Amino acid sequence: MNFSDLKIENKLKKSIELAEFKNPTPIQKESIPVSLTGRDILGTAQTGTGKTLAFTIPMINKLIKDKNAMSLIVCPTRELATQVMATVLKLNVREIGIGNALLIGGESMQKQLRKLSKKARIIVGTPGRINDHLKRRTLNLRNTSFLVLDEADRMLDMGFTPQINQVLETVPRKHQTLLFSATLPGNILRLAETYLNNPERISAGSTSMPIEKIKQEVLKVKSGDKYNQLIKEIYVRKGSILIFVKTRRNAEKMVKRLKYDDHDADAIHGNLRQNKRDRVIKAFRNNHFRILVGTDVASRGLDIPAIKHVINFDLPQVPEDFIHRIGRTARAGSEGSALSFVGDEDRGKWNAIQRLIDPNFRTETDGERKGRKKRGRSFDRRGRRGRKRFDKKDDNKWGNFKKKKGFKFKDKKSFKKKRKFSKRRKDFRN
């Protein structure tokens, strides 16, 4: 199937051609024909599979046919909402004559009010800002006939359940809903059961397995060695790097330390103003710096084809976020790598990630762990008995990964520091 084969309005066909969208992706091939019939869709697809266009095309087609209809697209982050709107604009909706409004936090409310006053029929926004407008009565959804919940699992993980429920209860009962999610946890299925009308289940690829073209690596590290190991990995890797850390503070600290060590880097996290976020993403996309350090706000919504490597310096709190993180690389058919640092304190998180990837994954029992501990002794740097070191005898401590396809363990031996930190660098130590 090609886009030219779709039963859509000629205006939209011309817009697709001008935007140079040629070959549909699997999620587009499966979902667009179904959506054009007016059915609700419960779609699952990994990041970078083209789901934005999968719901944008039938949405615009419906708005062309019905001059009074409007649509609402709800996204978890400002970045994703901005990128969805970019796709809408790329389809030449201005020439088609459909007004639009982007409703996200961090931007002028007055600017958004001006857009809404011009009878915008395509609304793209985040749950918080959409609800702000609903409370102010500056947004009216009574004519909404097409509703999209994009990356719904992430929105629920971020605590937007009340806002999503408010939107779903505000729109007219008779409307078409497309819900897309990278994973299908229980809360998503309950949401779909409550608000979707006999949806068509569409899946493009596995809901949990990482993209096949991603080379996955796991590096066992001690917490005190993590930064030194990171520097080593940066030196041996070519191309852009996205590093994930737990908190905003850690991201800023990491960037400061990398810059001190002569590496071009910047950070992205939830506390940045929208204009600052936009500048950072644009600069990274244009190769003005090589290393982007981010929190999980960057695991969704970033569409940067140039990312070659993803490094999980800190493992995510939610196992599903691992899939979204590594999905930042190997986009649009390209290849990429994902490296995860796993310390002794990360055993629980890592086991949870492995169970998500492989339901048959078996964790080590307490008895097995105690038996293994008795077999070997380890000593700290002062020669006393201490915490167990990572050595060859501990390969099975994290599960039988060597037998798992797609995983490659890196050398676990520590490397010698190329240079010692001076007293000036003392403040940057973990």
* CATH code of the domain made up of 214-363+399-428: 3.40.50.300
Task: Give me the pLDDT at residue 277, please.
Answer: 81
Quick: pLDDT tens for 307-330.
Answer: 889 999 999 888 878 877 887 776
Mean pLDDT of 246-265: 93
Mean of pLDDT values over 131-138: 94
The domain ranges of the chain are 3-204, 214-363+399-428
Angle at 335 between CA 329 and CA 338, to 5 degrees: 50
Taking the alpha carbons of 280, 286, 291, 295 in that order, is the dihedral positive or negative? positive
- More confident site: 211 or 416: 211
Q: What share of the chain is helix, strand, coil (3-state, %, to 5)?
A: 45, 15, 40
Query: If you average pLDDT over residues 46-67, what whole number do you get?
Result: 89
Contact between residue 214 and residue 263 where contact means Cβ atoms under 8 Å apart: no
Dump pLDDT digits (tens) for 98-115.
Answer: 999 999 988 889 999 999
Distance CA 167, CA 127 (A): 8
Low-confidence winner among 159-163, 236-240, 327-331 (lowest mean pLDDT):
327-331
The larger pLDDT score, comparing residue 365 to residue 256, is at: 256
Instruction: Give how far the C-alpha of residue 177 lies from the chain's centroid of Cα atoms, to the nearest Å.
Output: 22
Backbone angles phi, psi at 294, to 5 degrees: -140, 160
CATH class for the domain made up of 3-204: alpha beta
Please check whether residue 276 is in contact with residue 301, taking contact to mean a CB–CB distance below 8 angstroms. Answer: no
* pLDDT at site 159: 86
Using CA atoms, how far residue 425 sits from 215, 226, 258, 261, 265, in Å, is: 34, 16, 11, 10, 17
Higher pLDDT, 2 or 236: 236
pLDDT of 430 over the 50 cut: no
CA distance 243 to 313: 6
Q: Are the C-beta atoms of 253 and 314 separated by less than 8 Å?
A: no
Burial class (CB in 10 A: 0-12, 13-18, 19+), 285: middle
Residue 109 or 380, more confident: 109
Span 276-284, average pLDDT: 86
Chain segment 400-419, per-residue pLDDT in tens: 444 444 445 455 444 444 44
Residues 64, 9: contact at Cβ < 8 Å? Answer: yes
In this prediction the pTM is 0.62
pLDDT over 60 at 218, yes or no: yes
Coil, helix or strand for 246?
A: coil
Percent of the chain exceeding pLDDT 90 equals 46
Q: What is the per-residue pLDDT for 378?
A: 39
